Structure 1
């Protein structure tokens, strides 16, 4: 899974500078904003997320972006991207994190297909350790999916806390609006219930099924057939993560302990 970078040139209407950071290319675009490749005054490569113009005047989105910044500052460790700088009050609010060279897991799977068992095991370890660190900061990611996982030379990195929230915070979403990505949503998210760390563990299970070759919930696909694509050593732990009842799912620490004991 060697990194294969997929930068896109800046468009005519893209900014060339945000704060003190010079922008050099596009890295991707999501529902909340566009991510650019940038360069700091000290010539360090950074990722610069700029909120979409149509949302910048919406107090709800500004509040959500401010929470993203706060969440990202709290979460550190080997498996996330460190925050470098941010400004939630700018005309065009922005967040700068360290730049992690490498494709997203989504792009890897699109280009190369299902991962071999050993690579899948390394991925399972890295994401579990990332979730352990995220949850230890009382943060729920709520949108764990292959496009939010960067495959770097140092292992998988979990990014984009755009809809993360503290365990005790008030939901920023409107009534009856489901937050997350179809195919990786836990049953409680689909039902409109409160998210917990167990919500991320369900998404973790779906990410690994996807990395093993299953497309999330295609026509005719069943959970059993998705689990059959996993190495036998991972089936039990992933089955537990995909339990319909969040109270019966393991924690990130428990998953990490279980997967780390698997011998290859």
Structure 2
């Protein structure tokens, strides 16, 4: 998967409410749905004047100045660092052919693909900080499903999967604390893969911040390989105004 395909899949499966072209930028209005749907990204070479224009547009919209730094944005990254922007959430994108996660059937009553989300799924997500604004992001995706996991005869976790062309991306995997370290997240990923195969997908991807050591270890154990990275550069509102 090349980087253009990767970031197109990220945008399509976790979509902003609006994307606003501005010179060499795409600005995003995430309506409170988190960094991924609120960060500006560069579409061409930028200079200091372009950065200030993007800052002013985000400030005018009441948003914290926030830029996503993708592969190829090294010069922009240095420019933002020189302007006092701090690094936030280095993230790895992983991918795997669907067939590698559909080789083992999901045990009965272990994971269910459901849309729209049940109340218990919303409760599980809420415990992990995934509230109404992020549920609204999910609802904007076109081809999608929620995943409810059960373990020890109790609700155990929830996840979200959406499709872009031949790629399924899994987001918002949240496992209840008492049900962790028992393989539940792996079954969520496999359930997503079986659903995606039915939709015609050929590969499955997931994003994971570097700080989440346990999740990175899980995805590697399932056979996922890194296909891209990104991070954010940010300033607090009062530092820019």
Greater RCO, 1 or 2 (C-alpha within 8 Å, sep 6+): 2
Above 0.5 in TM-score?
no
Normalized against structure 1, the TM-score is what?
0.24
Q: Which has the higher strand share?
A: 2
